[in-house]
Amino acid sequence: MSLETISQSTPMEGSIAIPIASGHYGMYDQCRQLEAVLPGMAVSWKDSTSAADWRSYYKFGNALARPECAGIVATFGTSPTLSIPVSTTNADGTAVLFAGYGAVLLAPGQTVKKGQHMEPIPNGTYAGYWRVADGGHGVAESRQYASNTSETEGMLVSANVLCQASTGAGLIGAVGPSTQMTGVSVETAYDKTVTIPKNSLRVGDRLRFVTIVKADNAASGNNTVKEYINGLSGVLFTAPATTFSNNDTVVSFIDAYVASIGATGSLSLAGQLTTGTIGTATARASASSLVINTTVDNVVTVTNDPDTTADSSTLLFLSVEKL
């Protein structure tokens, strides 16, 4: 059966675009917005323990809000802009759909197909709008084809809104072993990394980074192993330059405290590092701080700077865990 071109699916719904239904079903409640919003925008709860802030929310990505998506605005505002002015009273003025069927606000420049997952945009001009999920998984699933590539305003798209779990403790990622590194004599990244998802951190979170690199032969001279976050910018640790013997290791345990979040967030670091022969290598304390942009994916990368191209080593294991 050929596909019709409007929804890119078999014509079960007919040969015209599926309209946005006016009704909603699922879990939703009356809530209080703390900044101006639009229908279909993604929102997050205010990061507060005060009872006075119960069910208060900001647009997704606001530094004053929790990192996870709470749902979408399900109240329609003033025509024709559909805007909902910021609430200045203690009234529960808008409805938020936590999970179920509703309309999400697709950002300009985006095209989504039926069944594709979408994610909210955390910052910039279109903060709170929706886009196609980078990794293929998101907190909303489109129920129709829609193209917003030629517009400068958002487009409402039918979607299934999914519950997003609170970003609590658990394993973020564990990888290894890498491909053996050999034939290089400049700082080079091992081919195994772990990514900390954007907007998954909040103030007070703790992370643990565990890393082991093993020498696969007797090195010709000093090797320097480092670990980075934010790609190759923020340094988690720098091991002492060491001329490895075969099977020597670099082992690190680094705990990080999230002191602040946002584009210029910060981590406070403490841990220990050993370099050399297993069982006899000296453990060294490690402590520092670094800047982290929590609104983007943060890739944890391990590198080595070998002395000559004959030196070889392997990243045996890298894990990142939220405690």
CATH topology of domain 170-322: Jelly Rolls (2.60.120)
| Residue 197, pLDDT score | 79
Q: What is the pLDDT of residue 246?
A: 95
Q: Which residue has the higher pLDDT, 186 or 88?
A: 186
Could you give the count of Cα atoms lying within 13 Å of 62 in the half-sphere of its Cβ? 21
CATH fold group of domain 25-161: Virus Head Decoration Protein; Chain: A, (2.40.300)
Percent of the chain at pLDDT exceeding 90: 48
pLDDT above 80 for 16: no
Provide the pLDDT for residue 158.
Answer: 92
Q: Is the pLDDT at 267 greater than 90, yes or no?
A: yes
What's the pLDDT tens digit per position in 46-79? Answer: 988 888 888 899 999 888 888 788 999 998 887 7
The string of pLDDT tens digits covering residues 138-159 is: 789 999 999 999 888 899 999 9
Give me the pLDDT at residue 211, please.
Answer: 97
Q: Is the pLDDT of residue 24 over 60?
A: no
Return the pLDDT at 142: 92
Question: For residue 124, what pLDDT is reported?
Answer: 84
Instruction: pLDDT band for 22, please (50, 70, 90 cuts).
Output: very low
Q: Give yes or no for residue 119 having a pLDDT over 60.
A: yes
Map out the domains of the chain as residue ranges. Answer: 25-161, 170-322
More confident residue, 7 or 45: 45
Q: Is the pLDDT at 15 greater than 70, yes or no?
A: no
At residue 52, the pLDDT reads 83
Residue 278 confidence (pLDDT) above 90: no
pLDDT of residue 135: 57
Same fold yes or no, 25-161 and 170-322: no
The pLDDT of residue 89 is 67
| pLDDT exceeds cutoff 80 at 167 | no
pLDDT at 91: 67
Q: What are 81-107's pLDDT values in tens digits?
A: 788 888 766 666 788 998 888 899 999
pLDDT score at 242: 92
In this predicted structure, what is the pLDDT of residue 164? 62
Give yes or no for residue 210 having a pLDDT over 90.
yes
pTM value is 0.57
If you average pLDDT over residues 202-208, what whole number do you get? 88
Residue 180's pLDDT is what? 96
pLDDT value at residue 20: 52
